[in-house]
Amino acid sequence: MKIKIPFYLIVFLASILMGLNSCKKYLEMPAQTSFNTDSVFSKYQNAERLIFDLYQFQGRALATALNGKLGSTSVSTITDEAICFTAQNGYTANNVYAGSINSTWFTVNGTNGEDVYDNHWKTIRKALILKENIDRVPDAPADVKGRIKAECAAVMALEYFEMFKRYGGVPIVTKALNDAEDFVIPRASLDSVYKHIINLCDEAIASPYFPAKVPDEKEFGRLTKAFAYGLKARTMLYAASPLFNTDKPYQDFGANNKLICLMKYDKNLWASAAKAAREAIAYCEQNGYGIVKSFGPTRNYKVACEDVPKAGNTEVMYGTFQSINQSKLYWLGRGTNMGGYAATEPTQNHIEKYQNTDGTTVNWNSTITTPANDPTSPYKKLDPRFHISVAYNGCLWVTTNPTYSLEIYDGVDASVANGRNGPISAKTQFAYFTRKWLNGFEASGIWTPMSPYMRLAEMYLILAEASNEANGPSAEVFSALDAIRTRSGMPIVSKSLDQAGLRKFIENERSVELYLENHRYFDVKRLMIGDVFKGPIYDLRVIRQKNSTYTYTKYKYHDRAWFPHWYLHPFPYNEVNKGYGLVQNPGW
């Protein structure tokens, strides 16, 4: 009997065993003995390994809450979404807080930085080799070859997009490079890279062999035509946004300004992004995708963000699996059977983005005193997405027998004991823990949840934002937002909002809906609202009083560094110093 191994497991094993050109920089001459193309493409079984290897770096690059970046914190910790324990050595998010970023680790080191620049090129090289040679495989049918070529185009579009949003214009490579002179490729303009990504997406979309969904659930983790539609819409949104869609770059770069912006404002780019989002939604919904809304308001969001398609998630357009050790998300401290590190803790800034289910908001700017023995009072009416995403004082943490509620508080004085996992007991001051991706696994140690890179909900949010920027408030804008909110039991958006009001509302809604999914950091940058990064970052002081009431008092935890040249990443110095035209971004 033939055993079919799940695709995500094969990718994991292939990334360990193959290491195709794994030690080479892309824009260097490849080792001539790296592999023999005649052998690799002599039969499909050999070529298939190269398909798996296309995804070698995706697990780390696309994972969300804990992606092994910034010293095992997360990119969310350098936004207003979350924070890491600043007294913990090794959390390189603290370097960002202090303003001590440098390209040696920020875009090179696979553990301490935000990105690994070389990995994009390694993947593009593999995709080009595979795309150029797959027709040589004698025992692969035409539909398999067609699917692989479209998949290679989608993979390259993804890699170029990930560089586009971080670096601006980068070199464009259209063939597998073999000769030394081929490697002298300077940066292309931002507009050229943008068009290249769109062309690659269109190529993947045009293929009749590229499936809307993976034909076998064991292939979950491979790209599909639905993803290509979605990436096209996302790329157009970024191109239309203020960081790039301007004639005044964030920092003057002289003759190189076209490397970091379009050097013109084109309102039509917003209309194009809206059209692309419309097309992505239509294609997905015609092919079995849909906003998750059949599990009830308190569970729909959990299924959409955490579950695999066979468990009812009709929304995920591309996802990977990530292995999470929950001790990296929080420190429960004494009184439990789990310890850990405060690596990704929600900020009070983020909590204030959630409305109550009646559309009102909690006033966190004044001290809140609860009724006696009612610690959850301030949170009871908050958006159901809050309860799926954030753990807080008094919430039910473990639902199985025995049940367990969190006690995140300090006693008012020595006569009142601190909570079992309160700030003093746990040696960490934060009032909140991460819950997203832990739902149903709170009592476990390590597990492998689905990590979404792209969900259909994002397409609705792109449609709302782009349509609002192109034409102002409209039925289309409100309908797109309401589709996301009402499935989680939230009220429809007020029709009184004007274009500016909707712009702010959509920014907030993206932060709530896409929390910890690796969007906020780049949203703040593309919208050019960088002061958000500076803070102040707030936490909450929770005190149990002698009469068993609780007081919740907001306080400033810290400020952070932010500099305008951080809008784009630095290229690794060793690449710039090779002298082939990789001009460093301004300010670095």
pTM: 0.92
pLDDT at 13: 36
d(CA 482, CA 497): 14
Taking the chain (588 residues) in runs of 10, the rounded mean pLDDT of each run is 44 37 39 64 90 80 58 89 83 92 86 89 94 95 97 98 98 82 83 98 98 93 97 98 98 98 98 98 98 97 94 94 54 41 88 98 98 98 98 91 91 95 83 89 68 95 98 98 98 98 98 96 97 95 98 97 97 90 94
Residue 540 three-state SS: strand
Cβ(74)–Cβ(115) below 8 Å: no
pLDDT at 427: 72
Q: pLDDT tens for residues 35-63? A: 578 888 999 998 888 898 898 887 555 55
d(CA 537, CA 127): 42
Residue 82 three-state SS: strand
Q: pLDDT tens for residues 13-22? A: 344 333 333 3
d(CA 494, CA 423): 39
DSSP structural state of residue 250: S
Question: Residue 537: phi, psi to the nearest 5?
Answer: -95, 130
Cβ(154)–Cβ(131) below 8 Å: no
Which domains can be identified in the chain, with CATH numbers?
Answer: 455-532 (1.25.40.900)
pLDDT at 330: 47
DSSP structural state of residue 98: H
Nearby residues of 211 by Cβ (< 8 Å), 6 or more positions away: 147, 224, 225
* AA identity, residue 328: K
d(CA 185, CA 173): 8
pLDDT at 336: 41
Q: 475-486 vs 499-513: helix axis angle to the nearest 10?
A: 30
Q: What is the distance between the terminal CA atoms of the chain, rounded to a whole angstrom?
A: 58
DSSP string spanning 116-151? -HHHHHHHHHHHHHHHHHGGG-TTS-HHHHHHHHHH
Percent helix, strand, coil in the chain (nearest 5)? 40, 10, 50
**How is residue 422 written in tokens?**
């309160």
Q: How far is CA 313 from CA 304, 440, 578, in A?
A: 5, 16, 47
Q: 44-53 vs 7-17: helix axis angle to the nearest 10?
A: 90
Beta-strand relationship, 537-544 and 410-411:
parallel
**How is residue 345 written in tokens?**
């803790």
pLDDT at 367: 98
pLDDT at 177: 77
Token pair 């001459």 is at which residue?
29
DSSP string spanning 499-520? HHHHHHHHHHHHHHHTTTSS-H
pLDDT at 344: 86
Handedness of CA 349, 351, 356, 362 (dihedral sign): negative
Closest C-alpha among 494, 458, 471 to residue 316: 458
Residues facing residue 396 across a β-bridge: 405
